[in-house]
Amino acid sequence: MSHTYVYSFGAGEADGSGDMKDVLGGKGAALAEMTLAGIPVPPGFTVTTQVCNLYSAEGSVPPAVREEQSAALAALEDVSGRKLGDPDDPLLVSVRSGAKFSMPGMMDTILNLGLNDRSVEGLAVKTENRRFALDSYRRFLQMFGNVVLQIDKDVFEHELTAIKKERGVVLDTELTTQDLAQLVETFKARIKETSGEEFPQDPLVQLDMARDAVFRSWNNERAAFYRRQNEIPDDLGTAVNVQAMVFGNKGPTSGTGVGFTRNPSTGDHEFYGEYLLNAQGEDVVAGIRTPHPLADLEREMPEVYKQLREITGRLETHYRDVQDFEFTVEDGRLFMLQTRAGKRTAQAAIRIAVDMVSEELITKEEALLRVDPEQLDQLLHPRIDPSAEVDNIATGLAASPGAAVGKIVFDSHAAVEAAENGEKVILVRMETNPDDIRGMDASAGILTATGGMTSHAAVVARGMGKCCVAGCSSVEIHEKDGFFKVGDRRFERGDVITLNGSTGEVHAGAVPTLEPEMSGEFEEFMSWADSIRGMRVRANADVPKDAEQARAFGAQGIGLCRTEHMFFAEDRIPWVRQMILNGPTAKSLAKRVAALEADLADAGGARKGMLEAALKDARAALAEPQRLFDEAVAAMLPLQREDFRGILAAMEGLPVTIRTLDPPLHEFLPNKEELAIEVALLEAKGGNASELESKKQLLRTVEELSEFNPMLGHRGCRLGISFPEITQMQARAILEATAALLKENVRVFPEIMIPLVGDVREFRHQRALVDQVAQDVAQSTGVDLPYLVGTMIEVPRAALTADEIASEAQFFSFGTNDLTQMTYGFSRDDIGKFLFEYLDLGILDRDPFVSLDQGGVGQLVSGAVAKGRGARPDIKIGICGEHGGDPRSVDFCFRNGLNYVSCSPYRVPIARLAAAQATLRHQKEDAERA
């Protein structure tokens, strides 16, 4: 028989095979494969994907399809011993879509096809269950009406609700046989009324109509959208699978169940699942009857159990992975309805992967590719007990994984206080700022109303390994009045809430959580990953504690040590503010002095005298601010030296990349708006004049330093250029700490990183300062200093001119947070206003602050790598944006030849595995090309 359009399967024979996914779709190919493997699956046939395309083009299927389909149907009737539409013992079939790639829930399915006014009675007799037969019929009418005839679901739901109301019952199962018979009639009447046609009683007509409806569903809106999202070509088409229905509710020798070949929670190698006798699939999951563990089946149906063990064992070996299967026993006969790779917890995934390697079922390489790196997060953080009931009140961004339970506080001060009293709190803020570091550290979790995946709260929380839900815009915070609202619900200061940082959910009350567990298998598994990957993994850490944590997670260095967090420590902030309040003043006065000196050089006569007087005044004005600025900078030196000593020592033997001061200075000063309110209130009260004057003076400084767009403002190397003293102080602190450690035989490798460079001349300016300091320190200590000076590539212009910059810089580190902000023009702190909308509309495939935008930002990255290596072939290149811990982005970095990725300490294991997977995929692609 020729199989151009329709492929049969059943009774151990199949026209197709498992490698024909293009033709038969994934499901059709699997059905053929299982059948050929001697696994009992209900017989049926598959109409090919090609027919879908023909149907899409022509609006109908060619005559040849009809012919082949008739033959396949005859064969199916033959194998199953029943006939479609038989009034005594009807063959019922399911009609399902099945494309090459799984598109779960996107297309339509029709069950119980073959029922009509006569065959329903045959089914009633055969199953000795008239209620079941009528219920099957009304379900078929509903599905057929909706899917094939495109009648709104509500039409049927409305009738169902009406009859339940009439009978005074709540559940569908409370309806009587009589009620269902009435409903069948009503449904048929509504179908005629709405579609203008009678419900087709002829099962062959039903079948053709259902097939065509499935083809049409290939082009429905959600399927088309799903394909766009998942980059599935539109011209693949879907196959249609027509398969005999089997029933597990035919009596005590029938039944149905689900199971796994290994425990999906723990990974234990045990046969795991549940079943019910005389039941249909949905009964097992509906919770009305309590199902039995599969072990009991051995007692109740020993033959079936034996066969099931044998079959599922074979399936696991065949597919070389844990199987999640569904089966039905009809009159003592076992049918496999479905088998697929089983979803599993992270713990189970690792356990199974390691076990299967030792069972020699799979290779280490395959094992590594089996575990989703993102899943490892579960192993490193506490999580919500999946069995717990939750009262979900809002959903924001899953900004930092884990779970946290605590009392609501609205400011960092309260958080610190509560922590000192041993209380767990959740810090709830519009958005956090660097002032909140201590409060965040003291909290169990952080909830913010604005801000995206790389907002301050998100970045800092991830760095701390602390649970955070960010950008939860439905939370309306009334900070001063001590409560927040979500819709109509109000939560007071002190109320307990639970955060799920892995899903972004916020729950009312305390939800039970599970602590993370790390197993021996985890270490073994990760060691395989490390032996495969070439790309190194570093961590972003600012303090020794985090650096040690990162090292414990396998970090091979620090890729980003931000120095600004050090500036907020209590012993620093007075010096920092003294520095900031006097630096700009001193600077502008110094300029005036220089200008006057220049003028004076050319001047003569009366003008000369005037200028001399002005110069004297200017020099006098300059003296005090300059002294205070210099004093503050000098005071910072020993403190910073200790900071760097700590982090360098913690990473002995490994490189530590330290970034010079980055944020705009006003971030270290009091909030402008709050200060303005204070001044206004003081003025209104007519309070202490000198206090008012000093506040006003402070406000003026804050106003002068404040910026419209701080992200694009006076920050990064721009600060270091305006205030070379700060760069010099930081370089000196780093290099003096280095010299001291080296003298103690602690091997350290500092890499000094200049932020926000956009032009090679900025870098040259800063590097000259660092090199000069290094020369001084080397001379005064007699130590040979093994330092590097490099830059972040985070401004688009830096990427575009990377060749020029590489001629001066010894390393590049892609700051993909800023690079994404500037390339898209998205402020990470404001994107929450439209991000969800963009994702919903499919304008963005994913949050570009989570997963690197390879199409846009990626062009800048790969261009910069090429230009950088062109100018300096041995330049060390890494990435230290948040993307360094995202598996897709890690893969991109690998393909672009980066030397390392750097991410939050808690994402280091994820990056290690992702890097290994990238290597394996690359090797595979290479092998395929060869």
Site for its own copies in 703-722 (CB under 8 A): 703, 707-714, 718, 721-722
Question: Considering only CA atoms, which of 787, 774, 784, 788 is closest in space to residue 743?
Answer: 784
Minimal distance, residue 823 CB to its own copies, in Å = 5
| Residue 797 within binding range of its own copies, rule CB under 8 A | yes
User: Which residues lie below 8 Å from residue 423, measured CB to CB, with a gap of 6+?
Assistant: 406, 407
| Residue 677 within binding range of its own copies, rule CB under 8 A | yes
Contact region for its own copies (CB under 8 A) — 182-190, 253-261, 827-835, 900-908? Answer: 827-835
Nearer to its own copies, 282 or 784 (CB): 282
Out of 155, 332, 838, 869, name the contact with its own copies by CB under 8 A: 838
The H-or-E segment that residue 810 falls in is: none
Contact region for its own copies (CB under 8 A) — 16-24, 357-365, 396-404, 796-804? Answer: 796-804
End-to-end CA distance of the chain: 38
Residue with tokens 């000369």: 608
Nearer to its own copies, 676 or 788 (CB): 676
Minimal distance, residue 256 CB to its own copies, in Å = 22
Question: Read out DSSP for 646-709?
Answer: HHHHHTTTSEEEEEPP-S-GGGGSPPHHHHHHHHHHHHHHT--HHHHHHHHHHHHHHHHH--SS
* Cβ atoms within 10 Å of 710's Cβ, excluding its own: 17
| Residue 686 within binding range of its own copies, rule CB under 8 A | no
Q: What is the DSSP letter of 337?
A: E
Out of 37, 169, 361, 676, name the contact with its own copies by CB under 8 A: 676
With CB under 8 A as the rule, give the number of residues binding its own copies.
73
| Residue 568 within binding range of its own copies, rule CB under 8 A | no
| Residue 855 within binding range of its own copies, rule CB under 8 A | yes
> What burial class does residue 8 get, using C-beta atoms within 10 Å of its C-beta: 0-12 exposed, 13-18 middle, 19+ buried?
buried
The H-or-E segment that residue 225 falls in is: helix 221-230
Nearer to its own copies, 170 or 930 (CB): 170
Catalytic residue status for 880: yes
| Residue 857 within binding range of its own copies, rule CB under 8 A | yes
| Residue 826 within binding range of its own copies, rule CB under 8 A | yes
* Cβ atoms within 10 Å of 110's Cβ, excluding its own: 24
| Residue 829 within binding range of its own copies, rule CB under 8 A | yes
Strand order in the sheet with 44-47: 13-14, 6-10, 44-47, 238-244, 93-99, 109-113
| Residue 700 within binding range of its own copies, rule CB under 8 A | yes
The distance of Cα 257 from the centroid of its chain, to the nearest Å, equals 33
* Residue 677, token pair as written in the block: 């309110």
Nearer to its own copies, 201 or 807 (CB): 807
Amino acid at position 345, single letter: T
Minimal distance, residue 228 CB to its own copies, in Å = 9
| Residue 474 within binding range of its own copies, rule CB under 8 A | yes
Amino acid at position 400, single letter: S
* Cβ atoms within 10 Å of 665's Cβ, excluding its own: 27
Looking only at residues 613 through 652 of this chain, which bind its own copies when binding is defined by CB under 8 A?
A: 617
Nearer to its own copies, 179 or 736 (CB): 179
Question: Read out DSSP for 556-608?
Answer: -SEEEEESGGGGGSTTTHHHHHHHHHHHHHHHHHHHHHHHHHHHHHH--HHHH
Question: Read out DSSP for 244-293?
Answer: E---S-SSTT-EEEEEESS-TTT--SS-EEEEEES--HHHHHHSSSPPEE
| Residue 776 within binding range of its own copies, rule CB under 8 A | no
| Residue 672 within binding range of its own copies, rule CB under 8 A | yes
Q: Report the sign of the C-alpha dihedral through residues 467, 473, 479, 481, in that order.
A: negative
Minimal distance, residue 659 CB to its own copies, in Å = 15
Nearer to its own copies, 540 or 823 (CB): 823
Contact region for its own copies (CB under 8 A) — 285-293, 300-308, 779-787, 825-833? Answer: 825-833
Minimal distance, residue 397 CB to its own copies, in Å = 16
| Residue 824 within binding range of its own copies, rule CB under 8 A | yes
Nearer to its own copies, 70 or 161 (CB): 161
Question: Read out DSSP for 90-138?
Answer: EE-EEEEEEESS--TTTS-EEEEET--TTHHHHHHHHHT-HHHHHHHHH
Out of 53, 177, 338, 473, name the contact with its own copies by CB under 8 A: 473
Provide the 3-class DSSP secondary structure of residue 553: coil
C-alpha distances (whole Å) from 732 to each of 574, 626, 739, 748 are 21, 20, 10, 15
**Dihedral class, residue 154 (left if φ above 0, else alpha if ψ from -120 to 50, else beta):** alpha
Provide the 3-class DSSP secondary structure of residue 793: strand
Length of the chain: 930
Catalytic residue status for 467: no
- Judge contact between 717 and 754, C-beta under 8 A: yes
Nearer to its own copies, 388 or 721 (CB): 721
Minimal distance, residue 202 CB to its own copies, in Å = 32
| Residue 104 within binding range of its own copies, rule CB under 8 A | no
Contact region for its own copies (CB under 8 A) — 16-24, 208-216, 409-417, 700-708? Answer: 700-708
Question: Read out DSSP for 306-324?
Answer: HHHHHHHHHHHHHHTS-EE
Determine which one of 292, 381, 456, 666 is catalytic.
Answer: 456
Contact region for its own copies (CB under 8 A) — 341-349, 544-552, 834-842, 873-881? Answer: 834-842
Out of 295, 841, 897, 923, name the contact with its own copies by CB under 8 A: 841
Out of 842, 846, 924, 925, name the contact with its own copies by CB under 8 A: 842
Q: What is the DSSP letter of 391?
A: -
Looking only at residues 714 through 773 of this chain, which bind its own copies when binding is defined by CB under 8 A?
A: 714, 718, 721-722, 756, 758-759, 761-762, 765
Minimal distance, residue 769 CB to its own copies, in Å = 12
Looking only at residues 589 through 618 of this chain, which bind its own copies when binding is defined by CB under 8 A?
A: 592, 601, 604-605, 617
- Over the window 208 to 237, marking each residue x when it contacts its own copies by CB under 8 A and - when it does not, the resulting string is ------------------------------
Determine which one of 468, 880, 893, 903 is catalytic.
Answer: 880
Contact region for its own copies (CB under 8 A) — 277-285, 412-420, 679-687, 912-920? Answer: 679-687
Minimal distance, residue 687 CB to its own copies, in Å = 12
Contact region for its own copies (CB under 8 A) — 71-79, 96-104, 681-689, 903-911? Answer: 681-689
- Over the window 476 to 495, marking each residue x when it contacts its own copies by CB under 8 A and - when it does not, the resulting string is x----------xx-------
Integer-rounded Cα Rg, in Å, for the chain is 35
| Residue 859 within binding range of its own copies, rule CB under 8 A | yes
Minimal distance, residue 435 CB to its own copies, in Å = 15
Looking only at residues 164 through 183 of this chain, which bind its own copies when binding is defined by CB under 8 A?
A: 170-171
Looking only at residues 360 through 389 of this chain, which bind its own copies when binding is defined by CB under 8 A?
A: none
> What burial class does residue 928 get, using C-beta atoms within 10 Å of its C-beta: 0-12 exposed, 13-18 middle, 19+ buried?
exposed
| Residue 860 within binding range of its own copies, rule CB under 8 A | yes
Q: Dihedral through CA 668, CA 674, CA 678, CA 683, nearest 10?
A: 110
| Residue 822 within binding range of its own copies, rule CB under 8 A | yes
Nearer to its own copies, 373 or 583 (CB): 583
Instruction: Supply angle C-alpha 451, 457, 459, rounded to 5.
Output: 100
Nearer to its own copies, 81 or 855 (CB): 855
- Judge contact between 256 and 284, C-beta under 8 A: yes
Minimal distance, residue 800 CB to its own copies, in Å = 5
Looking only at residues 116 through 155 of this chain, which bind its own copies when binding is defined by CB under 8 A?
A: 153
Q: Which residues are catalytic?
A: 456, 880
